[in-house]
Structure 1
Amino acid sequence: MTTHRSSLPGAEIPDDGALKQAAEWFACREGGWSAEESARCRQWVQADPSHETAWRQVESIWASLGGLSPAAAQALDEAGRKRRTAMVHLGSSVAAAALVLLGLRIKQEASRPVHAIRSMAGHTLQHSLPDGGQLWLNSGSEVIVGVTPGHVDLVLLHGELLLQTGRSAACAHTLRSRHGRLHTRSARLSVSMHAGRSQADVFSGTASWHAPFRRPLHIHAGQALEWNTLTPPAPRTADSMRGNWQTGELAVRDAALPAVIAELARYGIGRLDCDRQLADLKVTAVLPRFETEAALQLLAHALPIRIVRHGPWWMTVQSR
């Protein structure tokens, strides 16, 4: 979807009516809308820049809840349109809060088990899923896990996850970030969130990517996808560093040194920088991912670099 910009100061700031209407459209979509309703919503979003801004704000709130499972959507349909209509009479901030409460209420009605798991900085965490699959969280990550019969819903709040689905393809998996969602039944893949964007790397199996007003995209083994809420994504080659971090090894082949240093920095305490002059230096190695200083010493021994300490919590990789 194209972002429209106005020369008038504050022209894109949504008013109460725009936020309330966006919340109404979202409730309609999650309850199962018709093709006509979808087209009307698209027309409304494109009619004014403030409408798109309102849509994105509500979309962010909704994504943080993880959307609705099929059971929750059924509960919404059974509850009728009373809750949606009630939001029309609320102010902007209250309307946003009402949307959050609506999602939580529906999840409660559907008796959907939901819990959050998180990993500490410098540590990874492994979690077993009901279908026999495994979920790993990278350093400093948090995920909301929702489970219903035949479906696992994962909402990445921040950081990075690695998913290995169970052997049976009978269980569907939905992985969500604030920028979109992925669906798969059989895959090994990672999803990570960065400033303003999300990234998915598929190492085996397939997954499909979905976002409002966008055509679904299929991601196959060896492919990756990077996206945000404004620009269309395009498949590219999967990043091997995203597929093996749970083992404690950092295996790289012809990787740029700054990228390797940035990966090691995730697991150390303090600040770790890399001189921009080393951007063209390539690395092929197997490093201890969770032992930052040991990995840096191995790199310094093999490459024309040195490790400079500026204090107990700050190091810089520079040219020797």
Structure 2
Amino acid sequence: MSVEQERLLEQATRWIVLLRSGQASDAERQAFLAWRARDPRHEELCLRLERTLGVFQVPIAQGIDGGVLQRALDAPSSRRKVLQRALLGAGLMIGGSWSLTPTFDSLSADFSTGIGQRQTVQLDDGSELVLNAQSAADVQFDSQRRLLKWRGGEGLLQVAADRRPFILQTSGGEVYGRDARILLRDRDSQCRVGAMQAPLQIVTRGGDRLQLQPGQEVTFDRLRFGRVQALRSGDSAWVNGLLEVRGSPLSEVIEALRPYRHGVLRLDPAIADLRVSGLYRLDQSDVVLEALSRTLPIRINRRSDYWVTLTAA
């Protein structure tokens, strides 16, 4: 993230925390609206923060004084570490089975989607890219090659025929394909790539190579490949706003729902391996959770709209 992005994020976060703390005066609210309207980047950043306000609303909803977060933001140095400690002190954990909002690196991406958003993009070479919710990518085409740098999330790429090679760069390595249809998921430095139409060459950052045949998928990271498996028929259902699972672990279902929800969605590890089959609408995640609670031995505990925990019944 650039210095300018850091500055904008800091300014916007100050305003959001102040307004949510209950301490803002009418004059401060008007000043915020003026700041927001002053620059399109301010508006864009505010919209993104508002889509992910679970990060700030949860501790306040749990009775944590908004002044705690405000004082963290006022720290003269190591601002992010202080803010992170304040969030941890409010009961939020980062990683594991807790889900917070994505990083703001997508603000500078060529293409990106927010919570609950999907987008179809036509690239300059005629290729088509579909981004799932909370996904981002950069495009760098020149006379020698076509490079798509994946920043994270899930996507479906139809590569157009062209004399130039097409390179899909992920956190784990690079994927090469011609006239290919590629299904990609890259979150938390774990990649999953599916070959839907033509063979793919995958090279990890550590130098290992794998030829993936049509109808196959593989999970990999920077150093190693997992086991090659048959591509599942429902893996691309999200393109149509659907979640199709057949005997999949509950943890996989919850991971698919998180990009469509604000705030924290926690899954008790004790029930993570329960098997789920069905066809669900991603845009109706609350309905999905209720349906799961009726068919599985689980309980949904809601502290607020931004804090939901799934436990054993």
Q: TM-score, normalised by structure 1?
A: 0.57
SS of equivalent residue, structure 1 residue 130: coil
Q: Which runs of 5+ in 1 are unaligned?
A: 1-114
What is the aligned partner in structure 1 of residue 295 from structure 2?
A: 302
Structure 1's 302 and 228: CA in aligned 2 closer, same or farther, altered over 3 A?
closer
Output one character per residue of 1:154-197: Cα deviation in whole Å (capped at 9) or x when no partner: 1002222211234x475642100233101111222222223333
What is the aligned partner in structure 2 of residue 16 from structure 1?
A: none
**What are the residue-to-residue correspondences of 1:232-311 with 2, within 5 Å?**
232=225, 234-238=227-231, 242-311=235-304
Q: Say if 2:306 is the partner of 1:316.
A: no
Q: 1:156–1:177: 8 Å Cα contact kept in structure 2?
A: yes
Q: 1:203–1:243: 8 Å Cα contact kept in structure 2?
A: no
Q: 1:187–1:203: 8 Å Cα contact kept in structure 2?
A: yes
Aligned with 2:171 (options 172, 178, 185): 178
Q: How far did residue 255 of structure 1 move?
A: 0.9
Q: Which amino acid aligns with 2:168?
A: L
Q: 1:268–1:291: 8 Å Cα contact kept in structure 2?
A: no
Q: 2:299–2:312: 8 Å Cα contact kept in structure 1?
A: yes
Alignment partners' CA distance in 2, 1:272 and 1:232: 29
What is the aligned partner in structure 2 of residue 162 from structure 1?
A: 156
Q: Which amino acid aligns with 1:156?
A: W
Alignment partners' CA distance in 2, 1:156 and 1:290: 24
Structure 1's 207 and 277: CA in aligned 2 closer, same or farther, altered over 3 A?
same
State how many pairs are aligned.
Answer: 206
Alignment partners' CA distance in 1, 2:165 and 2:149: 14
Q: How far did residue 259 of structure 1 move?
A: 1.3
Q: 2:125–2:162: 8 Å Cα contact kept in structure 1?
A: no
SS of equivalent residue, structure 1 residue 316: strand
Q: TM-score, normalised by structure 2?
A: 0.58
Q: Say if 2:165 is the partner of 1:189.
A: no
| Aligned-pair identity (%) | 25
Alignment partners' CA distance in 2, 1:201 and 1:172: 19
Structure 1's 132 and 315: CA in aligned 2 closer, same or farther, altered over 3 A?
same
Report the aligned-residue RMSD: 2.6
What is the aligned partner in structure 2 of residue 134 from structure 1?
A: 128
Structure 1's 283 and 221: CA in aligned 2 closer, same or farther, altered over 3 A?
same
Alignment partners' CA distance in 2, 1:275 and 1:153: 40
After TM superposition, the structure 1 stretch with the greater mean CA deviation from structure 2, 204-213 or 175-184, is 204-213
Alignment partners' CA distance in 1, 2:141 and 2:159: 14
